[in-house]
Structure 1
Amino acid sequence: MSNTTNSEHDNKSSIDAQTQRRAVRERYGTIATDESSCCNDSLICCDDTDLGDRTKQLGYTPDEIDSISEGANLGLGCGNPNALASLKVGETVLDLGSGGGFDCFLAAAEVDEEGQVIGVDMTPEMIERARANVEKNDVSNAEFRLGEIEHLPVADDSVDVIISNCVINLSPDKPQVFREAYRVLRPGGRLAISDVVMTAQFPAETRNDIESLTGCIAGAATIESLQTMLADTGFEDVHITPKEESDEFIREWDDSRDLSEYIVSAAIEGRKPSQ
């Protein structure tokens, strides 16, 4: 595993942040308006049956999958952050990169009408799709806001739990993402994130490939780097736990190479200190 400052630096892409953000927005805007659920150029195409099987691989139960109407689950995650979050009735939950709203709607059921769920996504097409899915799922305690996860449209100290599913790796400024997460969390608030982490350096052609950067591959950071970012931000009780079984579905992300040699899905947890 790459675990030194130099190796982390050597693995950085030469693509600038503005170009990366624009490419991410364009890619996921296209996915949001595509009627075929999880077809894009980094993931295998799948019909509804395949999508259900893939979602189970990520750690969702059949009941969770069946409880959400078609169109919210786009097959883009790498885990089940709600399973980490241990949500309680009445809590306020924020989803970073909420996509079609699948995780938000599951969280909304957990926190019940006394709680609130806020989804933030920087892609207008995703926000439009998620808002349409609110009505389809008859949810009254979830809302979706357009914004970047590096600049959250959320008030200070207003959120109990932050969830995210394979999104933070897409950010070219991960420390800023965690600073924003810290800002909006209430004292004692917690992170429950599923994301990919880097276990070996990518070849230069991969880390400088815009499709790999926008496809939840080349933007992954090492566990050590993420631990440092979280600690420097002020989070405590930080735990990053690789899910070795994730190699089964990560291998399916690319027909030409075995991506499980470079990345693994992980549970990322932390807590803002209580005051």
Structure 2
Amino acid sequence: MSDPDGAVRSAADQRRLVRERYAGIAAEGSGGGCCADGCECGCDSSSADEQSRAVGYDDEALDSVVEGANLGLGCGNPTAIANLNAGETVLDLGSGAGFDCFLAAQAVGPTGRVLGVDMTPEMVEKARENARRNDAETVEFRLGEIEHLPVADEAVDVVVSNCVVNLSPDKERVFAEAFRVLRPGGRVAISDVVQTAPFPDDVREDPEALAACVSGAATVADLEEMLDTVGFEAVAIAPKDESASFIREWNDSRDLSEFLVSSAIEARKPRR
């Protein structure tokens, strides 16, 4: 990633930009904070619930979680593709205010467990408060980077994530960490944006576009290669053509659906 002046942006700089952006969103208390400087990360002037309906959540899911947990920042519904079962342990990469974690907890029941990892202290604090308000006793939130997960080896059954992996400067490392923490036979179920065409220079070099779930997106071919390299099998990446209807609303001055599509990313760790 480069600055507009051509300087290469370090991984640390990228993480700082993302952390600062989402700390601001946590302070705002809703997806409205995401829209404050350009509507480039999946939210617009509509409510967080309206945005979430557009990406695949139903009213039952939205009504089942305490107010403030859903910030309207997703680009899909990973819990819907994860096929969660009672008693499973689920890990959410970039768990934000906890929305998907609370939905996962409902699916895995009282014998299951859900871990959320987020690198933004303000988000982790907000998620922990939401867990208390939601009486989510089987949900735990940890501060950490998704490239260096604070989770033991082979500790979880399912890894989910919602429009977060694109923000990482080292996506292959993210997938390697997911592989490490999954039990044999475990699976990933990720909703994220993928790149379908080269970004114009003004998008590629815009730091706001990086922090806003745009210019950090990888292509399907690159994601497939990364997942295969770290050891996953049954890799399947399914673009959601209908996502153009909400992606084109992300920016008032440019139709980002020319370069991005939301996709379901699935893979499995081989059994021994």
Same fold (TM over 0.5): yes
Amino acid corresponding to residue 88 of structure 1 in structure 2: N
Residue of structure 2 in register with 1:30 after alignment? 24
1:71 aligns with 2:103: no
Aligned runs of 1:145-184 on 2, under 5 Å? 145-184=142-181
1:250-270 superposed Cα distances (whole Å, 9 cap, x missing partner):
011100000000000000000
1:83 aligns with 2:80: yes
Please report how far the alpha carbon of residue 205 of structure 1 lies from its aligned counterpart in structure 2 after TM superposition.
1.6
C-alpha separation between the residues in 1 aligned to 2:44 and 2:222? 33
CA contact (8 A) 1:15 1:208 kept: no
C-alpha separation between the residues in 2 aligned to 1:38 and 1:270? 33
CA contact (8 A) 1:14 1:208 kept: no
CA contact (8 A) 1:242 1:267 kept: yes
Give the alignment partner of residue 259 of structure 1, picking from 256, 259, 263. Answer: 256
Residue of structure 1 in register with 2:237 after alignment? 240
Residue of structure 2 in register with 1:46 after alignment? 45
CA contact (8 A) 2:49 2:70 kept: no
Amino acid corresponding to residue 74 of structure 2 in structure 1: G
1:210-251 superposed Cα distances (whole Å, 9 cap, x missing partner):
100000000000000000000001000000000000001101
Aligned runs of 1:80-229 on 2, under 5 Å? 80-229=77-226
1:60 aligns with 2:54: no
Superposition TM-score, scaled by structure 1 size: 0.93
Superposition TM-score, scaled by structure 2 size: 0.94
- 2:129 aligned counterpart, secondary structure: helix
CA contact (8 A) 2:191 2:265 kept: yes
**Alignment identity in percent?**
60
C-alpha separation between the residues in 1 aligned to 2:187 and 2:30? 34
1:151-209 superposed Cα distances (whole Å, 9 cap, x missing partner):
00000001100000000000000010011000000000000000000000001121111
Corresponding residue pairs, total? 262
Please report how far the alpha carbon of residue 15 of structure 1 lies from its aligned counterpart in structure 2 after TM superposition.
2.0
Please report how far the alpha carbon of residue 54 of structure 1 lies from its aligned counterpart in structure 2 after TM superposition.
1.4
CA contact (8 A) 2:147 2:173 kept: yes
Please report how far the alpha carbon of residue 18 of structure 1 lies from its aligned counterpart in structure 2 after TM superposition.
1.1
CA contact (8 A) 1:39 1:45 kept: no
The RMSD of aligned alpha carbons is: 1.4
Amino acid corresponding to residue 167 of structure 1 in structure 2: V
Amino acid corresponding to residue 210 of structure 2 in structure 1: L
Give the alignment partner of residue 17 of structure 1, picking from 7, 11, 14. Answer: 11
C-alpha separation between the residues in 1 aligned to 2:265 and 2:30? 30
C-alpha separation between the residues in 2 aligned to 1:53 and 1:90? 31
Q: Which runs of 5+ in 2 are unaligned?
A: 1-6
CA contact (8 A) 2:186 2:268 kept: yes
C-alpha separation between the residues in 1 aligned to 2:261 and 2:38? 16
Runs of 4+ in 1 over 6 A off after TM superposition: none
Larger displacement relative to structure 2 (174-183 or 32-41): 32-41
Amino acid corresponding to residue 90 of structure 1 in structure 2: G
- 2:31 aligned counterpart, secondary structure: coil
C-alpha separation between the residues in 2 aligned to 1:177 and 1:248? 29
Please report how far the alpha carbon of residue 45 of structure 1 lies from its aligned counterpart in structure 2 after TM superposition.
4.3
